[in-house]
Amino acid sequence: MNLDYSDLFKNTPFSMAQKKKEIWFLERMKILCDHHYKYCLQYRSLTEKVFQPFDKCDSLLDLSFVPAYLFKKNNLKTVITDSELKVFTSSGTSTNGKSKIFLDRKTALLQSRALEKIFSDVIPKGSKIFFIESPNILKGGTAFSARGAAVKGFYQFTRDPEFLLDINEEVNCDGLLKFIEDNPNERFVVFGFTSVIWDLFINKLLNKNIKISNNKGILIHGGGWKKLKDKEITRSAYNELVKKTMGIKNIHNYYGMIEQTGSIFLECEEGFFHPSIFSEVIIRNKNLDSCEVGEQGIIQVLSLLPISYPGHNLLTEDLGTIHGLDGCACGRRGKYFLVEGRVEGTELRGCSDVGP
């Protein structure tokens, strides 16, 4: 394939205006679509049965996409050589099973570099990081889970990482408390999954009457919102309790999935998610037509990073709304959107059979 990834990483993550980005992104997505068409039999079959040829596509809306649920039913991989593929799995909260994602070394490196590039927008280089996880997350089968993949992605570009849960998932924040005491004016990062932070850390801090003093921490969290929404916990309530118990005021949620590890959508200071230079978002209605700004629909996510599997253009089972283009008060360019729930059991008619 002829996609120039060295050129891709020269861009800053959120500086390209939407009109320019759509032309720039379409050119590169066509190359990636053609790559998967040539080397993934299931993607080729889906494209030929449902979509028009790539050379006739004038916009991102026309390109062939894969419903995300198909990763739970098929081993979708794009194979060129006999290079080793590692299999990662989703968290499996859905009753339909777990998604399986096949990563080769190049795709994994691209995703790791993209994570570093995206989070450099909010995280100072070389920051100390604390994971709200047990060190066991990087061992055995859990290392290849969605949580393990996220932790591993951060682990590679931070200094002296520490874990705030012990091997029994009990709170162990002595290292964090000492760091804050010794470095009261230094910024640092706390990373974890949204529901894990709530269930295994914040609630245990409250039960143990541990209160972390105000500090320069940056909390990065994502995943697991469904569990909290079932408990009617809102974003504002979540952030307020983080501030109260952890002393952290700088909080960034992110939207992402195992099917596109690396291409996360970072939440800005205004509470909106932003596609980076590596990704794009489309919202479609129930007829799969494009939604207007302000209209809720099904979220479609696009990424320039997946090479070893056709996860570059996915129709998710999530609902969302685009709130504007280039006009977010945070100053980041491009689209900005919200995620507002799930459409359970959504299946695109005509896409269920991806056999060659």
- Structural domain span for residue 31: 5-342
CA distance 355 to 312: 19
CA neighbor of 159 nearest in space, from 183, 122, 126: 126
Q: What is the pLDDT of residue 92?
A: 56
What number of CA atoms fall less than 13 Å from residue 221's CA on the CB side?
Answer: 23
Q: Is 76 domain-assigned? A: yes
CB 348 within 8 A of CB 71: no
Is the distance from CB of 216 to CB of 189 less than 8 angstroms? no
Say which amino acid occupies 250.
N
pLDDT for the residue 352: 40
Kindly report the three-state secondary structure assignment for every residue of the chain. Answer: CCCCHHHHCCCCCCCCCHHHHHHHHHHHHHHHHHHHHHHCHHHHHHHHHHCCCHHHCCCHHHCCCEEHHHHHCCCCCCCCCCCCCEEEECCCCCCCCCCEEEECHHHHHHHHHHHHHHHCCCCCCCCEEEECCCHHHHCHHHHHEHHHHHHHHHHCCCEEEEECECCCCCECCHHHHHHHHHCCCCCEEEEEEHHHHHHHHHHHHHHCCCCCCCCCEEEEEECCHHHHHHCCCCHHHHHHHHHHHHCCCEEEEEECCHHHCCCCEEECCCCCEECCCCEEEEEECCCCCECCCCCCEEEEEEECCCCCCCCCEEEEEEEEEEEEECCCCCCCCCEEEEEEEECCCCCCCCCCCCCC
Token pair 């066509």: residue? 30
Q: What is the pLDDT of residue 356?
A: 42
Q: Which residues of the chain register pLDDT less than 50? A: 95, 346-356
pLDDT at 348: 47
Asked if residue 133 lies in contact with residue 196, where contact means CB atoms within 8 angstroms, the answer is: yes
Neighbours of 80 (CB within 10 A): 13
Residue of 153, 152, 176 whose CA lies nearest to 163: 176
**Distance between CA atoms of 196 and 193, rounded to whole angstroms?**
5
> Do the domain assignments include residue 242?
yes
Q: Per the domain annotation, does 271 fall within a domain? A: yes
Q: Tokens 């809720």 identify what position?
A: 296
Tokens of 304: 């320039």
pTM of the predicted structure, to 2 decimals: 0.90
- How high is the pLDDT of residue 353? 44
Q: What is the structure's pLDDT at 249?
A: 95
Residue 327 lies in a domain: yes
Quote the number of domains for the chain. 1
Letter for the amino acid at 107? T
Residue 234 belongs to a domain with what CATH number?
3.40.50.12780
Model pLDDT, residue 330: 97
348 within a domain of the structure (yes/no): no
For residue 120, tell me if it sits in a domain.
yes
What pLDDT score does 97 carry?
Answer: 76
β-pairing, 273-274 vs 265-267, is antiparallel
Q: Is residue 350 part of a domain?
A: no
Q: What percent of the chain has pLDDT over 70?
A: 91
* 264 lies in some domain: yes
